[in-house]
Amino acid sequence: MKPKHLDALTFTLYPVIENRMGCKFIWGEVTQLDGPERTATIKPMFQQTEEVIDFDFCIIAAGCNFGPFHKWGESLWFPTIHEKARAEGSWPHLDERFLEGRRRHIMEEYGALSALNDKQASVLVVGAGFIGVEWATELRHFFPKLNLTIIDFLPQCLGPLPASAAAYCNNYMKKNGIAQHYNTKYDAKSPDFWSKIGLPNGVDKEYVCIGVKASNYFMPKETLSEKGPGGGGWILMDMTLAVKNREGKVWSLDEKGYARVYAIGDCNYSCVDEPGKKPDEWPIPPIPKISYPGEEEAVIAVSNIIKIDKLFYQGKRTDAFGTPLAPSTMHWPWGAGMFATSLGPDDACFVAGASWEKNSGIKCLWGQLSAVQKEIIEASKVDECAFGVVGRLIWHFVHHTPLHLWGGGPRFGY
């Protein structure tokens, strides 16, 4: 939509991790992870052969893809970076492992959208969740000549959110001339489908914005779910976020019985199920794949590594206050119920207090104030990720709250 915006969202990892954080950075792709042996097979960026490195602890934070209908989950919302996926992708001429490759892809897509706009083309957005609604409203703002239609199989946009938030976004799209069709199943091969949504001759361009797809190609099958969004393949974890196998056993136990490999964020199963019970009765009900839960899981996983390091290597049994050391467990994080949905650059809708129950939560902020809120969040989070002082000062206590008055976390933090 706005190619120059990429510069505000990105930075080069190497100098941040090596210079600011003081950590070692290996640029390459993990092709195989072995938890019991504590080794990772990697293919370095500028090397033809693979290498094997060992580790004491490992945190998997590999994210996911967003194209559920594509073999490799290919989509515009995530750069194509895996070696096997690049060879079979739709843009093999671009190498999105490099920032310049990603930039050129964005410019390419921008050019295609400009051409569609010039000829007043018809565009269909499939899926009225967060990505679909944000994409449709951004298209309307930056390419106003497009004839836009958005569909979803649910009875409203932003299905899980409260009715007031869905109605606000619905009204925004209606006011801005975006045709909406709900309770509609996507079937591009059916003439009846196209007639139903008022486009009997089809469209010039389709954007599929539904669901997620796992990309844990480096993990053995016994550690991946057989079910789940996009056909499964999500990393299974126990209550401490340690990777487990399909039999429920921790995959990376050391000789003293401590876990050494953890999975956080969008790559994991996002829940801990219990056979015979409904999802809302599971030890951890399904968690949305958004940023807050991933960051919360990262804090817990790092805390557990620190505790196990003290127990295993330092022989300590209690912390400074005499409390026995033991790995912390995950919970459904209260911040997973916060959703900020952009409606173009000048409008937005913010919901807080949502849970795993559908249509829960409260619409707290909307309009230009919510758009400004998203701008502040974006700028400060990018600065925090780049290890900037301002961003870290703003966001540190969001996940390091010393006293929890509500939610499933421990009273005095991790």
> What is the model's pLDDT at position 280?
87
Q: Is 19 exposed, middle or buried (0-12, 13-18, 19+ CB in 10 A)?
A: exposed
Q: Residue 166: which of 207, 210, 128 has the closest Cα? A: 128
The SS3 call for residue 83 is helix
Contact indicator for 230, 213 with CB cutoff of 8 Å = yes
Which tokens in the block code for residue 278? Answer: 């409904």
Beta-ladder partners of 318: 324
Sheet with strand 362-366: strands edge to edge: 339-342, 348-352, 362-366
Q: Residue 12: which of 393, 299, 265, 382 has the closest Cα? A: 382
The full set of domains in the chain, from first to last, is 3-61+214-332 (3.50.50), 83-212 (3.50.50.60)
> What is the model's pLDDT at position 335?
84
User: What whole-number distance in Å separates Cα of residue 153 and Cα of residue 132?
Assistant: 13
Number of alpha carbons in the 13 Å side-chain half-sphere of residue 387: 12
Residue 58, phi then psi, degrees to nearest 5: -140, 135
CA angle 64–266–57, rounded 5-degree value: 105
> What is the model's pLDDT at position 47?
92
> What is the model's pLDDT at position 409?
73
Q: Mind listing the pLDDT tens digit of every residue in the chain (414 residues)?
A: 899 999 999 999 999 999 999 999 999 999 999 999 999 999 999 999 999 999 999 999 999 999 888 889 999 999 999 988 988 899 999 999 999 999 999 999 999 999 999 999 999 999 999 899 999 999 999 999 999 999 999 999 988 888 999 999 999 999 999 999 999 999 999 999 999 999 999 999 999 998 899 999 999 999 999 999 889 999 999 999 999 999 999 999 999 999 999 999 999 999 999 988 998 889 999 999 989 999 999 999 999 999 999 999 999 999 888 889 999 999 888 888 888 999 999 999 999 988 888 888 899 999 999 999 999 999 999 999 999 999 999 999 888 877 777 667 777 777
Contact indicator for 202, 61 with CB cutoff of 8 Å = no
Model pLDDT for residues 218-260, shown as the tens digit of each residue: 999 999 999 998 899 999 999 999 999 999 999 999 999 999 9
For CA atoms 195, 201, 207, 211, the dihedral sign is positive
Q: Radius of gyration of the chain from Cα atoms? A: 22
Cβ within 8 Å of residue 52, ≥6 positions away: 39, 40, 41, 42
- Burial pattern 87-115, b for ≥16 Cβ within 10 A else e, equals eebebeebbbbeeebbbbbbeeeeeebee
> What is the model's pLDDT at position 356?
85
- Would you say the pTM of this structure is higher than 0.85? yes
